[in-house]
Amino acid sequence: MISPGDVGGDPLTEEIVELTGLLRRVVGRRVRDREAVDDIVQETLARLLAARTRLDGRAIGPYAIVTARNLVKSQWQRADVGKRHEHRLADTRDPVRPDEPLLEQEEAEAIRIALDRLAPRERDVLVAHVVEGRDTGSLADDLASTPGAVAAQLGRSRAKLRVEYILALEGEPPTRQCRPVLLSLSAGDRRRQGELDAGYHLLDCDFCASMSEPLFDRRAKATADEVRIPVTVDADVVVARQRGREVAVQAGFSATEATVIATAISEISRNIVRFARRGEVTVTILTDDGASGVLVVAQDAGPGIPDIDLALQEGHTTYGGLGLGLPGSRRLMDEFEISSEVGRGTTVTMTKWHRR
Ligand SMILES: [Zn+2]
C-alpha cells in the first residue's frame, strides 16, 4: 500500500521520473515495438517508485537500468512460453500448467533450506511470530528485549530468509560480493548498499541482476482485492496506472483488457493532478453472479466541474488537447458516472465487467 507521504514531490521521485529518457534508450535498443517500450519504461518507473525508500538513491540509475533489462528479459520469456503453448492456449482460456506440483515441491524444499541457514535464535523468533502468531510484545518479554528491537530483528531475519530462499532455488552465487549485495537489497538497507556499491555490482553481475527483481518488488507478490492510490503528482499517475492494471489482471482480465482499464485510470488520475492537485483513486475487484469486474473510484476535493455535459462531450479534452480526457475514459469502460460540486470536488465512478 502506498501512503500519501510515500509518493510525493521528494527529490528521489523526481530523479526517478527524470530517468524516463535514459530508460527509453536502454529499452529501445532491445525492443522494437514502441508500445512495448512504453509499457516496459512505465513498469520500470512504477517499480522503482514503489521500492525507492529501500534503494540507495545515489545508484538509482544502475537500479533503473537493471530493472528495465530484467523486464525486457521476462517479456521475451513470456513471449517464448506463449509460442510453445500456443496450441494449448487455443484450446482453453485457462491453460493447465503441468509443472505446478513439481514447482511447489521445489519451493517447499527451498524454504526448508533457507530456514536452516538462519541462526537458531533468528529462526525460533521468526517461526514463533509467523507460524504461532506471537506478537512482538510477548516475544520481547521472553527475550528480555523491547518490541522495537524484536521487530527490527524480525525484519532482518525475513530479509535473510528471502535471499537464502532464492539462492536455494537458483544455486550459489558466482562471487563473494553477491550474497551481501542481495542481502542489503532484500533488507532495504541503503547505507549498506552504498558501502557495497550494490547498484554497480548489479550492472556487472548477471546473477545478482536477475535475482534482484523479486527482492526489489515484493509488493507485486502481495495480492489485494482493493488498492488505494493517493494522487498528487505526475509520478502518482504512473503508479495508479500500474496498480490498476495489476488488480485488473487479478480480476481475470486479459492483458489487453487490463491495458484498456489502466488507460482509463491514468486519464482520470491525470485530471486529478491537473485540476484538483490532490485526490485518490481506489480500484476494487467486483464479483457478481459469475461475472467479475473492477470498480474504479476517483475522488478529489478540487474546484469541481461546472458543466459535466460539456466535459463529457466527445472531442472536449479538458487539458491542453492531450490525452483522451473524460469522454475517452467513458468510452473505455462499461459504466461511467460523474458527480461534481463546484468548490467541493468531483467523484468519477467507473466499472468494467469481464464476462466468462
Ligand atoms: Zn553478484
CA of 31 to the centre of ligand 1 (A): 26
CA of 15 to the centre of ligand 1 (A): 26
Helix (H) or strand (E) holding 82: helix 60-84
CA of 174 to the centre of ligand 1 (A): 6
CA of 198 to the centre of ligand 1 (A): 9
* CB distance 261 to 244 below 8 Å: yes
Angstrom distance (rounded) from CA 334 to CA 96 = 30
The cell numbers describing 73, all together, are 528479459
Angstrom distance (rounded) from CA 156 to CA 122 = 9
CA of 70 to the centre of ligand 1 (A): 15
pTM: 0.51
Helix (H) or strand (E) holding 269: helix 255-271
CATH code for the structural domain at 223-354: 3.30.565.10
Domain ranges of the chain: 223-354
The cell numbers describing 228, all together, are 488505494
Q: How does pLDDT run across 208-263, given as a tens digit for each residue?
A: 988 777 666 544 333 457 788 888 888 888 889 888 988 898 888 888 888 889 98
CA of 193 to the centre of ligand 1 (A): 13
Quote the DSSP letter at residue 53. G
Strand order in the sheet with 291-300: 226-231, 279-288, 291-300, 345-354, 335-341
CA of 203 to the centre of ligand 1 (A): 9
CA of 78 to the centre of ligand 1 (A): 25
Angstrom distance (rounded) from CA 65 to CA 334 = 38
Residue reference for cell 519451493: 107
Q: How does pLDDT run across 285-326, given as a tens digit for each residue?
A: 887 766 788 989 898 888 888 888 888 876 665 544 445 678
